Amino acid sequence: MPVPRYAVFGNPIAHSRSPAIHQMFAAQEGAAIEYERILAEPGRFAESAAAFFAAGGLGANVTVPFKTDACAWADSLSARARAAGAANTLIKQPNGQIHADNTDGLGLVADIRRHFQVALAGKRILLIGAGGAARGVILPLLECRPASLTIANRTAAKARELAETFGASAAEFAELPAAGFDIAINATSGSLSGQVPAIAAKVFTQCELAYDMAYGREPTAFMRFAQNAGAQRSADGLGMLVEQAAESYRLWRGFSPNTAPVLAALRAGEI
Ligand code: ATR
């Protein structure tokens, strides 16, 4: 039997932790898998993915900047991928067709629930940002039945558009109420370069958890800002990375990995 082949497509991709994460999952399953990084050229995702699956690939993760391309290229889409307009997981089906899913939102919800023991049902959630990263998590957040989901974005019109599409609320940064949210999630790309959205500190005073989808070695600028503003706890997106990977692995192989030791190994710099 050939070793089952998986891959992650992105550009850049050299930094990706996905191979190490998936190899730890495979060790838990007692399975041997191949999992490679594939650097696709801009505009050539479809070609690159088609070649991988034609050569026997069974499944793939997709990261920046190809999630929208993956959605357009796949033969079928899950409801989550359709709503997000983006796919991070491709699955080769027994009939050879490629099915696309999006596990980012599930990863976020699973991380908030499992690692932080914070329930989302009944909570007032603030989602900051209205780009692809935000769009990808809205449906899974709404499925948790929060008391409210408010989308706020520097360019307010984009937040209004997303809110209308999904049946959520939108608010301008300057209008956000003091002590208005239990959970605040930062989905802005500025976070990757240490920029904090221009939101007043008073907004965070009753915040149980300030969650930044970005991650790095140190707490992010958003995490520090929210904690200084009164948020009880803050978290970066490393747990989301592991949880979305676990959900992809489950879709490919029907095995649910234990994410805790994988996250611990990443935090310790062991993988
Ligand atoms: P991604 O796919 O990572 O979400 P994107 O689609 O380019 O990337 O969207 C980037 C998001 O981060 C947008 O919501 C953007 O706000 P604008 O719509 O106003 O551009 C937000 N963003 C980026 N830098 C930001 C900053 N310094 N402050 C606030 N929001 C920022």
Hey, what CATH topology would domain 5-101+239-268 get? Answer: Rossmann fold (3.40.50)
ipTM computed for the complex: 0.98
pLDDT tens digits, residue range 99-119? 999 999 999 999 999 767 888
Best residue among 64, 189, 215, 240 to mutate for probing ligand 1's pocket (most ligand atoms within 8 Å of CB) is 189
Question: Please, are residues 121 and 146 in contact by the beta-carbon 8 Å criterion?
Answer: yes
Q: 9 φ, ψ to 5°? A: -105, 135
Q: Tens digit of pLDDT for each residue in 174-192?
A: 999 999 999 999 999 998 8
Contact partners, residue 97, CB within 8 Å, separation at least 6 = 75, 76
Please tell me the predicted confidence (pLDDT) of residue 155: 98
Top mutation candidate among 108, 154, 191, 220 for ligand 1, by most atoms within 8 Å of CB: 154
> CA–CA distance from 198 to each of 172, 175, 195 (Å)?
10, 12, 9
What is the pLDDT at residue 217? Answer: 86
Average pLDDT over residues 79-97: 97
Superfamily (CATH) of domain 105-235: NAD(P)-binding Rossmann-like Domain (3.40.50.720)
Domain layout of the chain by residue ranges: 5-101+239-268, 105-235
Question: Across the chain, what does the average pLDDT equal?
Answer: 96
Fold match between 5-101+239-268 and 105-235?
A: yes
Of 93, 250, 79, the C-alpha closest to 166 is: 79
pLDDT of residue 184: 98
Confidence of residue 240 (pLDDT cuts 50, 70, 90): very high
pLDDT at residue 47, rounded to an integer:
98
Edge-first strand order for the sheet with 89-92 is: 34-39, 5-10, 59-62, 89-92, 98-101, 76-77
Give tens-digit pLDDT for 29-87.
Answer: 999 999 999 999 999 999 999 999 999 999 999 999 999 999 999 999 999 999 999 99
- Report helix, strand or coil for 148: strand
DSSP helix/strand/coil, 89 = strand
Residue 143 has pLDDT above 80, yes or no: yes
Is the predicted pLDDT of residue 236 greater than 90, yes or no? yes
pLDDT for 114: 75
The active-site residue, picked from 67, 92, 123, 202, is 67
**Ligand 1 contact, 195 CB (< 6 A):** yes
Whether 92 is a known active-site residue: answer no
Annotated binding site: 16-18, 63, 88, 104, 129-133, 153-158, 213, 215, 237, 244
> Are the beta carbons of 233 and 116 closer than 8 angstroms?
yes
Q: Residue 115: its pLDDT value, please?
A: 66
Give the pLDDT confidence score for residue 57 in this predicted structure. 98
Ligand 1 center–CA 243 separation, angstroms: 23
